[in-house]
Amino acid sequence: MLIGLAYLPLSDVFTDFDLVAGEFDNSADDLLDYFEKTWIGEPRRGAGRKKPQFDHVLWNVYDRVVTDLPRSNNSVEGWHNAFASRVAVAHPTIKKLTEKIRREQSKFEIDIAHLVQGYQLKPKKACYTKLDERIARLVRGYDPLQIHQYLKNIAANVSL
Domains of the chain, by residue range, sit at 2-70+126-157, 74-116
Predicted confidence at residue 74, as pLDDT, reads 79
pLDDT at 145 over 70: yes
**Neighbouring residues of 41: CB distance < 8 A, sequence distance ≥ 6:** 14, 49, 50, 51, 52
How confident is the model over 100-120, as pLDDT tens digits? 999 999 999 999 999 999 998
Is the Cβ–Cβ distance between 52 and 38 less than 8 Å? yes
DSSP code at position 52: P
Assign residue 108 a region (left: φ > 0; alpha: ψ between -120 and 50; beta: otherwise): alpha
Looking at per-residue pLDDT, the higher value among 50 and 78 belongs to 50
Alpha carbons within 13 A on the beta-carbon side of 138: 25
Q: What is the dihedral of CA 18, 38, 35, 139, to 10 degrees?
A: 70
Handedness of CA 143, 147, 149, 153 (dihedral sign): positive
The segment with the largest mean pLDDT, out of 43-47, 66-70, 131-135, is: 131-135
How confident is the model over 70-100, as pLDDT tens digits? 888 777 888 888 889 989 888 999 999 999 9
**Whole-number Å distance between alpha carbons of 51 and 1:** 22
Predicted confidence at residue 160, as pLDDT, reads 60
Predicted confidence at residue 153, as pLDDT, reads 96
pLDDT band, very low/low/confident/very high, at 9 (cuts 50, 70, 90): very high
CB < 8 Å & 24+ apart, contacts of 14-23? 14/40, 14/41, 14/49, 16/147, 16/151, 19/147, 20/151
**Whole-number Å distance between alpha carbons of 12 and 44:** 18
pLDDT at 129 over 80: yes
Mean pLDDT confidence for 47-74: 91
